[in-house]
């Protein structure tokens, strides 16, 4: 199957170059916000968030009067990112030098780590590093005022949730309400696979936000030129040869010449065999035969079936502590492209795992969390001189038409496609949109080729709406794309202007109930315009620019919001999908969508009615058939039924 997303970058080197203080582009941007009490840093994997925190933390200690810095990370292995780091030799005023005694990301019981945490608060030491778990346990029963004049830094902040039973989320809320602590929250992805927000709006509004986009990061690389995101569907077991195929689905997509991380399915998922160790054995069998396993490092040496060469394989699925520690220690000290070829993982090697040479992130099974997908993709998007292309491939099971789980499977498939749509939005360059007031306006020079002026465009009036547009647009798109009604509407069975002017504003009102109708409309227009433009191509002919969107070729100076509202911003991936999956699977998707059709609204009927009249005129007075195989014709017939029923009800009400 071709990639649903294929993005090329300019290799400017900008995101890797450093300023006079030794800061990369993202770190400089984050450091500019260092005086904020609450700072939220959204930046992709490999952009340098760990070191950005060091710069900010040291400034808080030396120049802002704070006494301590506490860094909380989700896993013990990530704690190594905050070890002693030389900064002065690159231009900064201080090195990051935590006392190893207060690096609590080490083996041992939580009780002793909590004791050490409390000792640290009473000591003269300045820096402590611990896991989220240790942080939660240590705060249990602790007076939040003990954290006054302390910077609390939470890495991988998306682990926090505003949900009542999320202990870390409640702890953070308590710290903000009852102490004078400063907070730096860092995340490579702010998306969640569910509908629970990371912070409640009133708490999130207190944070100064620093956003560094995936596009800024990848466009500023030196070596990496392109990124592809694709899906591959299989029947049966992913590691077994299907009767109709020459080889297994895994063998079709696994290239031993690419440095690859393979994430096997969660043991709770339908794709899993429930025997995780057996799955590792099956993957190795696809690669070749085991020659031996190094007792010191844990590396498995496998002779390839295809080439005969010896592959170095790391097994991170084995949860025996001794085995895991051996191979983890080996992977932490990799410094050559030849040190490892394939890594097989389950829950590990997603967040904070650094293997710059990785070219391919191969994930087996559906992932419901957009955060998890972005984190996994991030394993392959480090810049390294051994690669010009990075690839994410998701192997997803096709269900048999007779399977009672088919509806669940199709729904998962649709959600997987929406993840690609979102990633395409995240990975594309950002544009700025302005209102085009009149013809003279087009002669104004904005000095920025990423600014597009649109007739009829609405600008936000409140600070809240401006902040949403400035830093939360992709997060909002994530909520829109995962909304059940949108999933049913996107493949083209609902008119684009219904999607754009009915469904999207409805979701915006639910997500941001504090916005008035003017700002809902402004945010809606930004979501739709941004999505449509990023799914379009801009071309130059002479001194004029044109935009090609949904089959139309329009002069960029003539774009009007009414024109953009006639385009389904999310349909491209489904068009690719329809050409790539089997006819049977496509039929299942269509049947599932039809069986769970969104309810008709008066607003949709009102928008659709003029088009129905036009359709009737073109078809010599014939009305649309509710049993038609054409889904749009069927929907038009449903609109007429709805309107007749609505007219009948209103007549009864009026007596």
Q: Report the C-alpha gap between 343 and 349 in whole angstroms.
A: 9
**End-to-end alpha carbon distance in the chain:** 59
Q: Report the C-alpha gap between 68 and 58 in whole angstroms.
A: 10
Q: Report the C-alpha gap between 451 and 443 in whole angstroms.
A: 13
- 94-133 per-residue burial string, b: 16 or more CB within 10 A, e: under 16: eebebeeebbbbeeeebeebbebbeebbeeeebbbbbbbb
pLDDT digits (tens, 9 = 90+) for 445-470: 454 567 888 888 999 999 889 988 88
Nearest to 469 by CA among 517, 521, 527, 511: 527
The residue count for the chain: 655
pLDDT of residue 197: 58
CA distances, 190 to each of 42, 202, 360, 468 (Å) = 7, 17, 23, 13
- 358-387 per-residue burial string, b: 16 or more CB within 10 A, e: under 16: bbbbbbbbbbbbbbbbbbbbbbbbbbbeeb
pLDDT of residue 348: 65
- Tokens 């990785």 belong to residue: 358
pLDDT digits (tens, 9 = 90+) for 122-137: 999 999 999 988 998 9
Residue ranges of E strands in 517-605 = 537-541, 544-549, 552-555
Q: Report the C-alpha gap between 532 and 352 in whole angstroms.
A: 33
pLDDT of residue 86: 95
52 neighbors 31 (Cβ within 8 angstroms): yes
Q: Could you give the domains of the chain?
A: 17-212 (3.40.50.300), 220-397 (3.40.50.300), 427-581 (no CATH), 599-655 (no CATH)
- Report the share of the chain in percent with pLDDT over 70: 82
pLDDT of residue 584: 64
Secondary element (H or E) of residue 70: strand 68-73
Q: What values do phi and psi take at 458, rounded to 5?
A: -105, 130
Segments of the chain with pLDDT less than 70: 1-2, 4, 158-166, 189-201, 244, 270, 348-353, 368, 370, 399-418, 420-421, 424, 438-449, 490-493, 550-552, 571-599, 627, 629, 631, 648, 652, 655
pTM above 0.75, yes or no: no
pLDDT of residue 163: 52
166 neighbors 197 (Cβ within 8 angstroms): no
pLDDT of residue 449: 61
Instruction: Name the H helices within 460-560.
Output: 463-471, 473-481, 484-489, 496-498, 504-511, 517-534
348 neighbors 318 (Cβ within 8 angstroms): no
Nearest to 408 by CA among 256, 238, 269: 269
pLDDT of residue 541: 78
Q: Return contacts of 398-407, CB within 8 angstroms, 24+ apart.
A: 398/233, 398/234, 398/235, 398/581, 398/582, 398/585, 399/588, 400/235, 401/584, 401/588, 405/270, 406/588, 406/592, 407/592, 407/595, 407/596
């Amino acid at each position: 199957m071709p990639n649903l997303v294929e993005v090329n970058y300019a290799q400017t080197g900008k995101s890797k170059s450093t300023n006079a203080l030794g800061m990369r582009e993202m770190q400089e941007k984050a450091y500019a916000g260092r005086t904020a009490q609450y700072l939220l840093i959204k930046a992709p994997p490999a952009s340098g968030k760990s070191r950005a925190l060091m710069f900010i933390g040291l400034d808080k200690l030396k120049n802002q009067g704070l006494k301590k810095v506490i860094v909380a990370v989700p896993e013990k292995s990530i704690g190594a990112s905050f070890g002693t780091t030389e900064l002065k030799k690159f231009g900064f005023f201080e090195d990051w030098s935590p006392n190893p005694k207060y690096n609590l990301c080490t083996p041992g019981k939580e009780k002793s780590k909590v004791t050490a945490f409390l000792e640290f608060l009473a000591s003269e030491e300045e820096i402590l590093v611990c896991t989220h778990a240790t942080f939660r346990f240590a705060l249990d029963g602790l007076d939040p005022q003990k954290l006054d004049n302390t910077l609390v830094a939470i890495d991988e902040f998306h682990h926090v949730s505003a949900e009542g039973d999320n202990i870390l989320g409640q702890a953070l809320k308590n710290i903000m309400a009852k102490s004078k602590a400063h907070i730096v929250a860092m995340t490579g992805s702010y998306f969640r696979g569910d509908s629970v927000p990371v912070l409640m709006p009133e708490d999130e509004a207190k944070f100064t936000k620093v956003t560094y986009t995936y596009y800024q990061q990848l466009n500023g690389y030196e070596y990496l030129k392109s990124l592809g995101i694709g899906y591959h569907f299989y029947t049966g077991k992913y590691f077994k040869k299907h009767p109709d195929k020459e080889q297994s689905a895994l063998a079709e997509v696994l290239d031993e010449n690419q440095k690859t991380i393979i994430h096997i399915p969660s043991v709770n998922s339908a794709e899993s065999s429930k025997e995780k160790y057996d799955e590792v054995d099956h993957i190795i069998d696809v690669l070749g035969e085991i020659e031996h396993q190094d007792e010191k490092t844990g590396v498995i040496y496998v002779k390839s079936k295809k080439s005969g060469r010896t592959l170095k394989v790391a097994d991170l699925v084995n949860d025996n502590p001794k085995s895991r520690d051996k191979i983890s220690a080996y992977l932490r000290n990799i410094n050559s492209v030849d040190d490892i070829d394939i890594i097989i993982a389950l829950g590990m090697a997603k967040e904070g795992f650094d293997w710059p040479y990785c070219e391919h992130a191969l994930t087996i099974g559906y992932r419901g969390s957009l955060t998890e997908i972005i984190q996994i993709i991030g394993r392959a998007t480090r810049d390294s001189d051994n690669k010009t292309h990075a690839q994410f491939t998701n192997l997803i099971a096709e269900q048999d038409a007779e399977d009672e789980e088919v509806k669940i499977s199709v729904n998962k498939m649709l959600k997987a496609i929406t993840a690609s749509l979102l990633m395409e939005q995240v990975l594309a360059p950002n544009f700025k949109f302005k209102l085009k007031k009149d013809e003279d306006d087009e002669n104004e020079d904005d000095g920025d080729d990423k600014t597009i002026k649109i007739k009829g465009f609405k600008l936000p009036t409140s600070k809240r709406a401006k902040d949403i547009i400035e830093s939360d647009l992709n997060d909002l798109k994530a909520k829109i794309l995962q909304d059940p009604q949108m999933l049913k509407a996107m493949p083209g069975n609902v008119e684009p202007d219904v999607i754009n002017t009915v469904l999207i504003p409805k979701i915006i009102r639910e997500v941001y109930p504090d916005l008035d109708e003017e700002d809902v409309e402004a945010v809606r227009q930004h979501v739709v315009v941004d999505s449509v433009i990023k799914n379009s191509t801009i071309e130059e002919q002479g001194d004029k620019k044109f935009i090609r969107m949904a089959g139309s070729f329009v002069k960029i100076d003539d774009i009007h919001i009414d024109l953009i509202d006639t385009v389904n911003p999310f349909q491209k991936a489904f068009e690719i999908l329809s050409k790539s999956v089997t006819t049977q699977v496509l039929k299942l998707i269509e049947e599932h969508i039809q069986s769970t059709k969104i309810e008709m609204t008066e607003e949709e009927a009102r928008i659709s009615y003029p088009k129905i009249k036009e359709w009737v005129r073109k078809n010599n007075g014939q009305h649309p058939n509710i049993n038609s195989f054409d889904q749009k014709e069927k929907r038009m017939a449903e609109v007429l039924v709805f309107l007749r029923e609505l007219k009948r009800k209103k007549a009864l009400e009026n007596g």
